Amino acid sequence: MLASASPRRRELLLELGVSFEISVSGVDEDGDFRGRKPADVAMELALLKARDVGSKVNDGLILGADTVIDYGGELLGKPESPRHAFEMLARLSGKDHLVITGVSLFEPSSGTSWTRFEATRVRMRAASGPEIEAYVESGEPMDKAGSYAIQGLGESLVDSIEGCYNNVVGLPLCLVWELLGQSGFKALAASPCRLPSGQPCPHSAAP
């Protein structure tokens, strides 16, 4: 079961070739996480989401995920307003940041969980103020960590990435596949996580 309403995560999870249902968690993602490491926050929220949905069922596996931006140790989440989105993108322009997704598998019947995170380094190109403003006006940034979608119009703001591409979209299939293997769930013989070019994700590894 996927504990997320994200259409991006749903589409990615379908690539695993497993059947799943969707149940949205009620976890508040807008807590005060000042002073916390972004990776720790992402993993904590992923586990909380999985447990929240798992409290309503008795069997199966629950998948929770949460994506944040690590900008020099500072956590950046989703923008609160178009102005906030503009300010966030202006800060990221021409610089590197880490996209971190916490992923948690929770088994309600045993109370066992498997939680880790994936990190991808993204370098943004130096975009002008009018370019950023035009992108914000498209509306795409408003529900995205870091205020951009690499799989959409936001691709034009990205210079390069190092690591798992799907992680930047919102769900690192290489890590999900690995955690499924650790839990004993048999999915595919090989990870389906791939780059836009069709090449295997460099972070894919056997569970």
Instruction: Convert the pLDDT of each residue in 154-169 to its tens digit.
Output: 999 999 999 999 999 9
Torsion angle defined by CA atoms of residues 159, 195, 144 and 4, in that order, rounded to the nearest 10 degrees: -170
The string of DSSP codes covering 7-51 is: HHHHHHHHTTT----B-----------TTS-HHHHHHHHHHHHHH
**pLDDT confidence of residue 95:** 97
Question: Residues 146, 99: contact at Cβ < 8 Å?
Answer: yes
Q: What is the pLDDT of residue 207?
A: 39
> Which run of H or E residues covers position 158?
strand 158-162
Q: So what's the pLDDT on residue 58?
A: 81
Choosing from 30, 66, 70, 159, which is the catalytic residue? 66
Quick one: angle between helices 82-92 and 129-137, nearest 10?
Answer: 140
Reply yes or no on whether the pLDDT at 188 is more than 70.
no
pLDDT > 50? residue 26? yes
Predicted local distance difference test score (pLDDT) of residue 202 = 72
Closest CA to 36 of 6, 76, 90: 76
**What does the mean pLDDT of the chain come to?**
89
Residue-level pLDDT at 186: 66
Residue 67 host element (H or E): strand 62-71
Q: Inform me whether the pLDDT recorded for 190 exceeds 70.
A: no
- For residue 4, the model assigns a pLDDT of 87
DSSP letter for 154, please. G
pTM: 0.89
The residues pairing with 65 across neighbouring beta strands, listed in sequence order, are: 103
pLDDT band at 7 (very low <50, low <70, confident <90, very high): confident
Lowest mean pLDDT: which of 5-14, 147-156, 181-190?
Answer: 181-190
6 vs 149: which has the higher pLDDT: 149
What lies within 8 Å, CB to CB, of 169 at 6+ separation is 8, 12, 149, 150, 151
Q: What pLDDT is recorded for position 113?
A: 95
Residue 44 has pLDDT above 90, yes or no: yes
24-33, 67-76, 85-94, 118-127, range with the lowest pLDDT: 24-33
Instruction: Based on the residue annotation, tell me whether 70 is a catalytic residue of this protein.
Output: no
Q: Tell me, what's the pLDDT at 155?
A: 95
- Tens-place pLDDT, residues 64-110: 999 999 999 999 989 999 999 999 999 999 999 999 999 999 999 99
CATH of domain 7-183: 3.90.950.10
* The pLDDT of residue 187: 59
